[in-house]
Chains A and B, each alone.
Chain A
Amino acid sequence: SAVISQKPSRDICQRGTSLTIQCQVDSQVTMMFWYRQQPGQSLTLIATANQGSEATYESGFVIDKFPISRPNLTFSTLTVSNMSPEDSSIYLCSVEGGAETQYFGPGTRLLVL
């Protein structure tokens, strides 16, 4: 299984600002994913990030709000732009770690005031 780290682990931000979340994997992976887990809710896929191509966004998520970078096979960033309190969530990255299994990072806990 892949070892995944995320930075920051948590943050408190003011509305209208932006936060960039980093996801680092200890091995090269083709597919990385970004999920959102709103308080008391399940996980919702935001986008799929493949190296060398534009991220693919799910319905309800747009690039202007959640720009994603994927500069190489071990790293990705997700930016939450122009934040509002409704963006308060846990943001998790995951990777397709082989054998049809996704492995998840520890998450970034975001509180927007």
Chain B
Amino acid sequence: AQSVAQPEDQVNVAEGNPLTVKCTYSVSGNPYLFWYVQYPNRGLQFLLKYITGDNLVKGSYGFEAEFNKSQTSFHLKKPSALVSDSALYFCAVRERYSGAGSYQLTFGKGTKLSVIP
């Protein structure tokens, strides 16, 4: 079974400061890892993913995430937070394709990011 943990329900950061949203995962094989963002009254927007290759992946809106296999983590980061980054962030995992049913994404509970002006 696969699972995702986002240990912080809420993260507060001052505008202009770096931000980190934490995510750890568990899968039986090699993972595909994703970050999505949900703005109020909106659907989920894809931010970035790790499939293979370079452990540091860059995505939309200046966000990046680092895949750390030994720590089974995939923390989301941004060097300088904007007020407009305030939203709900979801980490998701699925096992690298190995047959029927393996397209299922498992989501974390979400972390609410508040960027304070």
B8-38 Cβ-contact flags toward A at 8 Å (1 or 0): 0000000000000000000000001010100
Please tell me the size bucket of the interface on A.
20 to 34
Q: Quick check: A43 and B90 within 8 Å, CB to CB?
A: yes
Q: What is the predominant secondary structure among interface residues of chain A facing chain B? A: strand
Tally inter-chain residue pairs, CB-CB below 8 A.
49
**Prevailing SS type, chain B contact patch:** loop
Which single member of A31, A103, A104, A106 contacts B103 (CB below 8 Å)?
A31
Contact, CB under 8 Å: B46 / A103: yes
Closest-CB distance, A93 to chain B (whole angstroms): 9
A73 → B minimal CB distance (Å): 16
Q: Are A104 and B34 in contact (CB under 8 A)?
A: no
- Chain B residue with Cβ nearest A102: B105
Do residues B103 and A101 form an inter-chain contact, with CB atoms below 8 A? no
Q: How large is the interface on B (under 10, 10 to 19, 20 to 34, 35 or more residues)?
A: 20 to 34
Taken together as a complex, chains A and B put the C-alpha atoms of A36 and B30 apart, in Å, by 26
Residue of A nearest to B4 (CB): A42
Q: Does A45 contact B (CB under 8 A)?
A: yes
Closest residue of chain B to A109, judged by CB? B41
Contacting B at CB under 8 A, from A48-83, are: 48, 56, 58
Does B43 sit at the interface, judged by CB under 8 A? yes
Report the nearest B residue to A1, measured CB to CB. Answer: B46
Known: A33-B103, A102-B46. 15 other contacts (CB 8 A): A31-B103, A42-B109, A42-B110, A45-B104, A56-B101, A92-B43, A92-B44, A94-B44, A100-B51, A102-B105, A103-B46, A104-B36, A104-B43, A105-B43, A106-B43
The interface of chain A, by Cβ under 8 A from chain B, is 1, 4, 6, 31, 33, 41-43, 45, 48, 56, 58, 92, 94, 96, 99-107, 109
